[in-house]
Amino acid sequence: MKRAPTTAARPAAILAIILASYFMILLDNSVIFTALPSLQAELLLSTGELSWIQDAYTLVFGGLLLLGARAGDLLGRRRVFVFGLVVFSLASLLIGLAPAGWFAIAGRAVQGVGAAIVAPASLSLLTASFPEGRERIRAVSLYGATAGIGASLGLVVGGALAHWISWRAGFFVNVPIGALMIALAPRFLPETGRARGRFDVPGALTATLGVGALVFGIIHTAEAGWNEPVTTMAVSAGAVLLAVFVLIERKAAQPIMPLRLFASRRRTGAYVARFLYLGAMIGFFFFTTQYMQEVLGFNPLQAGIGFLPMTAVNFAVAMSIPPLVRRMPGSAALLAGILITLAGMFWLSRAGADSSYGTAVALPMILIGAGQGLAFAPLTSFGIAGAPAADAGAASGLVNTFHQVGTCLGLGIAVAAAATVPAGGPATGQLAAQVSAALTTGSVLLLLALAVSAALILPADLAARRIRETPATVSVPQAAHAR
């Protein structure tokens, strides 16, 4: 039987290990963007092969997340966490040594396996180590800040290493970090124990294959469009497999994804809003990088540094979340964060071929960074809010699953939107128009995320706060409804 969350014996060390490991996998999710041109030149990759350097990682990561989360519940989260770090670190080393494109693509797929294990295990370890209250709010806020900062800082690191050393250095850097975390984790992280029960094999297979097929179909749209037969077949197969998965989970005695997690409006809203928010942000990273390098003429290092206004503001705002949440509802911070991100995204979408970095990119980035700093921590905390200890791994897995699938879908939608721009005219003007179309579409996704948060998370969060403040006057049915 699992132990209930207890106060961490060495909270600073536990939090540092969890955040450093999570930061490492998030860094690798974006470090590749600014290094892609030099990687393509050295390994002689076609455009399609180059896209799979990123897509192989995302496909496996998204497809195996629920499986990785359940493995932590059944086998012990620390044990699984360390195993995931070993897989991720070794894969990073092999990618750095890759002699050819196929080797790098295969290594990225193996990296995705490690990331699918580490990501949910890290969040469930955090939940198990810090009890609800001030300490968990602070820990989850830092975890949420890591999600935003890791993605944006990866562009800076990737650009700097590709410019000064080699694209390979972006993967080699994971090896010493991973080795250090592997050595420290058994010493400081608490082991949650193994849950009794059976592994939900039918659920695991249909979830993994369903998400994998859906992600593959979404990725394929960037190359072939939505009407291409392979795309249609993959998306249809993914949808059917996920429908079968839900039917299996309804009847499974020990499901890999307990459907009771969706009984909470806060959690459901957090999953959907995260899906939409990340769908918008991946288009921002992908297209803004291209805009700075191909329209403004930045080199990879300059493009990476160009994201610093967002990164710095993101970190500063994220650090203010714990005291802010104590004074106001977390849902209010979330809504403000999404709204500010939306304002920055729409502003950035107006950038043209003759725009300047300062007014067209840097200033909107400040708003986007502030919005991320406000939004990520509440999205994370609401995604695990009220989840029983036995479901902590599953709740953490869903947070990361919606994160990754949202990223895949968002990139496919952004690329499809960019493709609607008519060909012709100067290359820089063409690309600027494509960037504008993609970021305008991202703004629509953020508007939908705002609507979902206002409809599902805000009322449930306000009701829960009222219940906590007046426990003696609230009935059990009312408390259940406020979830």
- The per-residue pLDDT for range 331-352, each reduced to its tens digit, is 888 999 999 999 999 999 999 8
Q: How confident is the model at residue 480 (pLDDT cuts 50, 70, 90)?
A: very low
Q: Are 207 and 66 in contact (CB under 8 A)?
A: yes
Q: How confident is the model at residue 221 (pLDDT cuts 50, 70, 90)?
A: confident
C-alpha angle 326-332-338 in degrees, rounded to nearest 5: 130
Note the pLDDT tens digit of each residue in 12-36. 888 888 888 888 887 777 777 777 7
Note the pLDDT tens digit of each residue in 396-414. 778 877 887 788 778 778 8
Query: When comparing pLDDT for 437 and 128, which is higher?
Result: 437
- Kindly report the pTM of this predicted structure: 0.78
Q: Are 174 and 88 in contact (CB under 8 A)?
A: yes
Q: Are 66 and 212 in contact (CB under 8 A)?
A: no
Tokens standing for residue 393 = 């791994």
Tokens standing for residue 210 = 């369903």
Q: Are 450 and 342 in contact (CB under 8 A)?
A: yes
H/E/C letters for each residue in 314-358?
A: HHHHHHCHHHHHHHCCHHHHHHHHHHHHHHHHHHHCCCCCCCCHH
Tokens standing for residue 327 = 């004074």
Q: Are 62 and 210 in contact (CB under 8 A)?
A: no
Mean pLDDT of the chain: 82
Closest CA to 304 of 94, 103, 151, 82: 151
Distance, CA of 252 to CA of 318 (rounded, Å): 39
Q: How confident is the model at residue 8 (pLDDT cuts 50, 70, 90)?
A: very low
Note the pLDDT tens digit of each residue in 278-316. 999 988 988 898 899 889 988 878 888 888 888 888 878
Contacts of 349 (CB under 8 A, 6+ apart): 435, 436, 439, 440, 442, 443
- Per cent of the chain over pLDDT 70 is 87
